[in-house]
């Protein structure tokens, strides 16, 4: 199945993309600082059979839910991230990076009892060699939850879409999800969730979840129960929708594209738009950011999913936690 658009669809998609600059997106979730150590490998260590990386440079990027906010910013939308960082060096670095990118910092909550989550990736010759994490994954405090909800109540009226970005670092808790979904429904705002496999039961009543294949099948087993024989993709999608009372489920399938399950519609299979795949790090962040921006710009869910698929096809061709620009997205629309 080819991933092609009609002339009308291309015009429509460009029109949607042009509306991104008017979109205001609330992004709630786990804040992460992504550290990249870049170098070359020319020998094996005499101490152990491992490669020796000759480090050439380091770089830092906002990660986790902040990468979603950065994707929104890169596509000319306005993001309002809300989450927790530690009162430490990495927290200050993260705040500096956000400010440099012109992202709103009003939703940043400091907690001196928690370290800022840092993911360090060592990359040599365009290949990730190893990753190590520094983090505390226990639930954030009730005081932090209260501060997040205060920020949500202050901003939600002026938001177009709410994103809940669950990296399993302590922000997403049942109480927070219930309160955010309640507020969003009160003001008619769609709620999109980038889920964590073990938390699927938290997401009851949201507009859409965007798991990858592994997360969808794992979430199905945790939510629906263990199976006697593996279910089909269709069974997973429709049953998650029914069990969690969702309006839609968008399952990303890597080289097989995406599958959209939507209330009142047949399943929509969307072939991959990727030409070359270098790095899938952060691709899910690009998907949910583009999905949210498209919905905010007036797209229907099927249109928004196809836009997100095009964006993902661009970002996987880049190395590291990357973003895309409106120009790149428009070029991809015209070429499809």
SS3 of 272, please?
Answer: coil
Pairing of strands 161-165, 127-134: unpaired
Interatomic CA distance for residues 98 and 90, integer angstroms: 12
- What stretches of 138-252 adopt beta strand conformation (E)? 161-165, 191-194, 208-209, 248-252
Q: How confident is the model at residue 319 (pLDDT cuts 50, 70, 90)?
A: low
Give pLDDT tens digits for 104-152: 999 999 999 999 999 999 999 888 899 999 999 999 999 999 999 999 9
Q: Please state the domain extents for the chain.
A: 7-43+53-335
Q: Per the residue annotation, which of 111, 160, 194, 285 is the catalytic one? A: 285
Q: In the β-sheet with 268-270, what is the strand arrangement from edge to edge?
A: 107-111, 78-86, 24-29, 161-165, 191-194, 208-209, 248-252, 258-262, 268-270
**Is the pLDDT reported for residue 50 higher than 80?**
yes
Residues 273, 309 contacting (CB under 8 angstroms): yes
Interatomic CA distance for residues 184 and 204, integer angstroms: 13
- 153 vs 8, 25, 186, 209, 328, CA distance in Å? 39, 14, 11, 22, 35
**Is the pLDDT reported for residue 1 higher than 60?**
no
Catalytic residue status for 133: no
Q: How confident is the model at residue 94 (pLDDT cuts 50, 70, 90)?
A: very high
Could you tell me how far CA 146 lies from the centroid of its own chain? 24
Q: What is the CATH number of domain 7-43+53-335?
A: 3.40.1190.20
Q: The tokens 């939510």 sit on which residue? A: 223
Cβ partners under 8 Å of residue 309, min gap 6? 3, 257, 258, 270, 272, 273, 287
Lowest mean pLDDT among 150-154, 186-190, 227-231, 301-305: 227-231
Lowest mean pLDDT among 19-28, 117-126, 290-299, 316-325: 316-325
Give pLDDT tens digits for 269-289: 998 875 555 445 568 899 999
**pLDDT of 111:** 96
Ramachandran assignment for 282, one of left (phi > 0), alpha (psi -120 to 50 degrees), beta (any other): left
């Amino acid at each position: 199945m080819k991933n092609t658009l009609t002339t009308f669809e291309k015009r429509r998609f460009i029109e949607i993309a042009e509306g991104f600059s008017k979109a205001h997106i609330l992004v709630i979730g786990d804040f992460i600082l992504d550290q990249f150590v870049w170098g070359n490998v020319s020998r094996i260590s005499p101490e152990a059979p491992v490669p020796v990386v000759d480090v050439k440079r380091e770089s830092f990027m906002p990660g986790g839910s902040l990468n979603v906010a950065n994707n929104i910013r890169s596509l000319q939308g306005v993001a309002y991230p809300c989450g927790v960082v530690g009162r430490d060096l990495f927290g200050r670095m993260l705040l500096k990076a956000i400010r440099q990118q012109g992202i709103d910092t009003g939703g940043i909550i400091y907690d001196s009892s928690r370290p800022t989550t840092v993911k360090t990736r060592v990359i040599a010759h365009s290949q990730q060699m190893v990753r190590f994490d520094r983090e505390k994954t226990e639930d954030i405090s009730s005081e932090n939850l209260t501060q997040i909800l205060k920020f949500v109540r202050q901003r939600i009226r002026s938001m177009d879409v709410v994103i809940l970005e669950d990296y399993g670092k302590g922000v997403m808790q049942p109480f927070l999800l219930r309160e955010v979904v309640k507020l969003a429904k009160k003001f008619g705002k769609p709620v999109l969730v980038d889920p964590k496999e073990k938390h699927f039961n938290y997401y009851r009543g949201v507009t859409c979840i965007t798991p990858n294949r592994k997360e969808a099948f794992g979430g199905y087993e945790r939510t629906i129960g263990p199976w006697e024989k593996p279910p089909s993709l269709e069974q997973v999608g429709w049953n998650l929708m029914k069990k969690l009372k969702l309006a839609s489920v968008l399952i990303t399938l890597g080289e097989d594209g995406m599958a959209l399950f939507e209330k009142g519609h047949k399943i929509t299979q969307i072939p991959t738009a990727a030409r070359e795949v270098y790095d899938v790090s952060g691709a899910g962040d690009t998907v949910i950011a583009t999905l949210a921006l498209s919905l905010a710009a007036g797209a229907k869910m099927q249109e928004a999913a196809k836009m997100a698929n095009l964006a993902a096809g661009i970002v996987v061709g880049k190395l590291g936690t990357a973003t895309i620009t409106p120009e790149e997205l428009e070029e991809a629309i015209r070429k499809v």
